Amino acid sequence: MCLAVPMKVIEIKDGGQAIVETGDISMEISIQLLSDVSVGDYVIVHTGFALEKMDPKAAEETLSVLRELAAMDATDMGMDTIED
């Protein structure tokens, strides 16, 4: 039940709502539980609400730690940036 999905904010609307998307799916969610949400942020969405913003820098760090752990180099890891 604690399933939550990272989605990208593409539009901020009135009334604490925002449009988010992932892949081909877009939906309207509530951003009332977060302050300072901007277009382009990735948010973690659960039951129609954004619960937290993703930290792109920390994401890169996790990938880099995993890469080290797996003893692989960056090309094997298919490293992409979080922004695109």
Partner 1 sequence: MNITNSLRDPAVIRALGAQLKNLSLSRKITLMEVCGTHTMALHRGGIPSLLPDTVRLLSGPGCPVCVTPASYIDRAQEIGKNYGVTLTSFGDMLRVPGNTKSLSESRSEGINVETVYSPLAALDMARKHPAIEVVFLAVGFETTVPPIAMTVMNARDQGIDNFSILTAHKLIMPALELLVNDSDVRVDGFILPGHVSLILGSEPYRPIAEKYSRACVITGFETADIIQGIIMLAQQIEISQPSVEIQYCRAVKKDGNPQARGVIDTVFEPADSEWRGFGTIPLSGLNLREEFADFDASKKFPVEVNAETVQTGCRCGDVLRGRIEPAECALFGRNCTPEHPVGPCMVSSEGTCAAHYKYSRTR
Answer for the pair 44, 50: CB distance below 8 angstroms, yes or no.
yes
- Phi, psi for 71 (deg, rounded to 5): 55, 45
Among 3, 14, 24, 38, binds partner 1 (CB under 8 A): 3
Please give the torsion angle defined by the CA atoms of residues 3, 54, 39 and 7, in that order, rounded to the nearest 10 degrees: -30
Among 11, 13, 39, 51, binds partner 1 (CB under 8 A): 51
Asked if 63 is part of the footprint of partner 1 (rule: CB under 8 A), the reply reads yes
Spell out the residues 6+ positions from residue 64 whose beta carbon is closer than 8 angstroms to its own.
Answer: none
Interface characters, 18-47, with partner 1 (x: CB under 8 A): ----x-------x-xxxx------x-x-xx
Chain mean position to CA 60: 13
Which residues lie near partner 1 (CB under 8 A)? Answer: 1-4, 6-8, 22, 30, 32-35, 42, 44, 46-49, 51-52, 54-56, 58-59, 61-63, 65-67, 69-72, 76-82, 84
